[in-house]
């Protein structure tokens, strides 16, 4: 093979004009692919911002949008997994709850969920320890199912609730019955009956929010399709509970609205 003069003399061989022209389209293609990758990355990030976040175990979350208008009735929450679904307390404080939380269904253009405290498995003592005051018109509390399962006396649950209400210091308080527990029926029914009378004594608002979740033919158990594990409401069940709370927010309920009877 012939050797160029520059190579023979020890100089640096330069690509021919033909080689430069051949390399140029490849460089253009590489640049184009790089630009497309950058655009796709930006688009993905934009989509990720619009998608609901996920919990550590992959459950989708829903962030209710604050109601517009200065006249919206605001409510804060205190509760357990019935309220949080799979959200963490720090997320609930930022108005982020799971898609099976009643709070997402209690919000309309006239009402606004403004945060609070809730965590799966929480007792009323843990709610009291974690809750911090929230500026709101109403405090909505659905609590006690984990206490009674752990054997906490009803009177202690009530004392914890009074302390939570004292910390909240809000003009209105609404307490709902707790949903059924298929594995703990009798105690749950007894607690709801006691809770009705306790709330009346405090002068708080009471709703039997769990009424629509119960099976009429099997006292103390969920109706078909309204739970996914016998303890927590399904999305359909959460919608029923949320609708009950929403109705209560607009009607200033009293503790005499509905009596939970023990069969």
* CATH code at position 79: 3.40.50.1110
- Do 38 and 102 fall within a single domain? no
Assigned domain for 232 exists: yes
- Do 217 and 160 fall within a single domain? yes
- Do 88 and 172 fall within a single domain? yes
What pLDDT is recorded for position 229? 87
What pLDDT is recorded for position 53? 53
For residue 31, give its domain range.
5-50
Tokens of 61: 């979350």
- Do 24 and 77 fall within a single domain? no
- Do 41 and 115 fall within a single domain? no
- Do 100 and 190 fall within a single domain? yes
What pLDDT is recorded for position 70? 62
What pLDDT is recorded for position 2? 45
Distance CA 171, CA 198 (A): 18
Assigned domain for 55 exists: no
Is residue 225 classed exposed, middle or buried when 0-12, 13-18 and 19+ CB atoms within 10 A define those classes?
Answer: exposed
pLDDT tens over the chain, length 263 residues:
444 444 444 444 455 554 554 555 555 445 554 554 444 443 433 433 344 554 444 444 555 545 445 678 999 999 999 999 989 999 999 999 998 999 989 988 889 899 999 999 999 999 999 999 999 999 999 999 999 999 999 999 999 999 999 999 999 999 999 999 988 899 999 999 999 999 999 999 999 999 999 998 988 899 999 999 888 999 999 999 999 999 999 875 544 444 444 43
CA 7 to chain centre: 73
**Residues in the chain, how many?**
263
What pLDDT is recorded for position 38? 47
66 φ, ψ (degrees, to nearest 5): -60, 140
- Do 146 and 228 fall within a single domain? yes
- Do 43 and 68 fall within a single domain? no
Assigned domain for 261 exists: no
Assigned domain for 258 exists: no
- Do 87 and 203 fall within a single domain? yes
Assigned domain for 244 exists: yes
- Do 13 and 116 fall within a single domain? no
pTM across the whole model:
0.74
Assigned domain for 29 exists: yes
DSSP-derived pairing of the beta strands 97-98 and 172-176? unpaired
What pLDDT is recorded for position 250? 86
Assigned domain for 235 exists: yes
- Do 164 and 227 fall within a single domain? yes
Strands (DSSP E) along the chain, which ranges?
Answer: 61-62, 73-79, 97-98, 111-118, 138-142, 172-176, 205-207, 214-215, 218-222
Instruction: Report whether 186 contacts 254 (CB < 8 A).
Output: no
220 φ, ψ (degrees, to nearest 5): 85, 0
3 state DSSP class of 224: coil
- Do 68 and 186 fall within a single domain? yes
3 state DSSP class of 250: helix
What pLDDT is recorded for position 25? 55
Distance CA 238, CA 219 (A): 19
Nearest partner of 77 among 121, 124, 131, judged by Cα: 131
**Structural domains in the chain (count):** 2
Helix axes 185-202, 154-168, angle to 10 degrees: 50
Nearest partner of 134 among 49, 48, 74, 199, judged by Cα: 74
Assigned domain for 178 exists: yes
């Amino acid at each position: 093979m012939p050797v160029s003069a520059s190579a023979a003399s020890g100089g640096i061989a330069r690509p021919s004009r033909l080689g430069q022209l051949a390399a140029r389209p490849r460089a253009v293609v590489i640049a184009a692919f790089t630009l497309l990758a950058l655009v796709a990355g930006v688009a993905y990030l934009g989509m990720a911002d619009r998608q609901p976040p996920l919990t550590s175990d992959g459950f989708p979350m829903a962030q209710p949008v604050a109601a517009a208008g200065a006249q919206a009735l605001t409510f804060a929450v205190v509760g357990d997994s019935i309220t949080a679904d799979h959200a963490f307390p720090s997320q609930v404080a930022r108005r982020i709850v799971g898609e099976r939380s009643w709070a997402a269904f209690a919000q309309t253009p006239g009402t606004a969920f403004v945060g609070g405290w809730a965590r799966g498995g929480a007792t009323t003592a843990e709610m009291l320890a974690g809750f911090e005051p929230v500026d709101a018109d109403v405090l909505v509390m659905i609590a006690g199912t984990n206490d009674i399962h752990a054997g906490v006396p009803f009177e202690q649950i009530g004392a914890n609730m009074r302390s939570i209400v004292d910390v909240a210091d809000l003009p209105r308080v609404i307490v709902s019955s707790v949903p059924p527990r298929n594995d703990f029926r009798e105690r749950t029914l007894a607690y709801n009956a006691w809770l009705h009378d306790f709330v009346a004594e405090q002068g708080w608002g009471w709703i039997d929010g769990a009424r629509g979740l119960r099976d009429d033919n099997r006292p103390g158990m969920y109706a078909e399709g309204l739970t996914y594990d016998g303890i927590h409401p399904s999305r359909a069940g959460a919608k029923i509970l949320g609708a009950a709370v929403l109705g209560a927010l607009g009607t200033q309920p009293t503790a005499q609205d509905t009596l939970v009877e023990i069969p």
